[in-house]
């Protein structure tokens, strides 16, 4: 009698080999995908000149530990924005200083960063939003009031100020009294 099935050991080795090859291909693909989405960044000459003029005479001797003047300069002269900085903080789960230090060092080293400078931009508020925010502060509200209203409404600070200011412009009452004195009072 002739056997037509393969031994279990040969089949297991074959499956193990296929699995290892597939895993290797997945890792290689993930590496290529990560590399394709990464950007190397260099300081921009026009920003270097602007930075140097704005910081002439600045004493950088009191930089926090692990954060150098060179890293600070490299970060801000590469074209990254405050919004980019916030995105890096969230992406890396670090504070502002750590994000600037890491990104600045990456620029200095010519290493890849997760996105290009200027990817995240601040959207200018509308004239109506600016008017509402101005009314909010003119009524005597301050930062503590913003925090209290934001917690009450579960909104971010800009939305909170605009919403409360619009209530004031519409002649309605804001659920938190202003802590300060209204402008002109």
Question: Using one digit for the tens of pLDDT, what is the confidence trace for 97-148?
Answer: 899 999 999 999 999 999 999 898 877 889 999 999 999 999 999 989 998 9
For residue 77 the two structure tokens come to 């002269």
* CA 113/CA 110 separation, integer angstroms: 9
39 pairs with which residues across the strands? 113
| 150 contacts 136 by C-beta, under 8 angstroms | no
H or E stretch including 50? helix 45-54
pLDDT of 1 reads 54
Kindly list the distances between the CA atom of residue 74 and the CA atoms of 64, 108, 174, in Å, as whole numbers in the listed order: 16, 6, 45
Q: Integer distance in angstroms from the first to the last C-alpha of the chain?
A: 107
> To the nearest whole percent, how much of the chain has pLDDT over 70?
79
What residues have CB less than 8 Å from 174, skipping those under 6 apart?
A: 139, 141, 149, 164, 167, 168
pLDDT of 53 reads 86
On the question of pLDDT at 182 being above 70, the answer is yes
For residue 183 the two structure tokens come to 């402008």
pLDDT of 128 reads 94
| 75 contacts 103 by C-beta, under 8 angstroms | yes
Q: Count CB-CB contacts under 10 A for residue 14.
A: 11
Kindly list the distances between the CA atom of residue 82 and the CA atoms of 10, 15, 32, in Å, as whole numbers in the listed order: 59, 51, 29
* CA 80/CA 99 separation, integer angstroms: 12
User: Tens digits of per-residue pLDDT, 34-58?
Assistant: 444 577 888 888 988 888 888 888 8
On the question of pLDDT at 23 being above 70, the answer is no
């Amino acid at each position: 009698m002739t056997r037509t099935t393969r031994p279990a050991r040969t089949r297991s080795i074959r499956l193990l080999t296929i699995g290892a090859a597939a895993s290797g291909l997945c890792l290689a693909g993930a590496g290529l995908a990560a590399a394709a989405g990464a950007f190397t960044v260099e300081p921009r000459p026009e920003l270097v000149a602007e930075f140097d003029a704005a910081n002439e005479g600045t004493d950088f001797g009191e930089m926090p530990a692990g954060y150098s003047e060179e890293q600070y300069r490299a970060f801000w002269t590469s074209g990254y924005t405050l919004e980019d900085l916030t995105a890096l903080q969230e992406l890396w789960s670090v504070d502002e200083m750590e994000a600037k230090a890491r990104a600045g060092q990456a620029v200095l080293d010519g290493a890849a960063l997760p996105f290009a400078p200027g990817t995240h931009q601040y959207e200018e508020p509308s004239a109506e939003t600016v008017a509402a925010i101005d009314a909010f502060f003119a009524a005597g509200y301050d930062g503590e009031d913003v925090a209290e209203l934001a917690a009450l409404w579960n909104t971010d600070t800009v939305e909170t100020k605009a919403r409360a200011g619009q209530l004031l412009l519409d002649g309605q009452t804001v659920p938190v009294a202003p802590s300060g004195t209204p402008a002109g009072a």
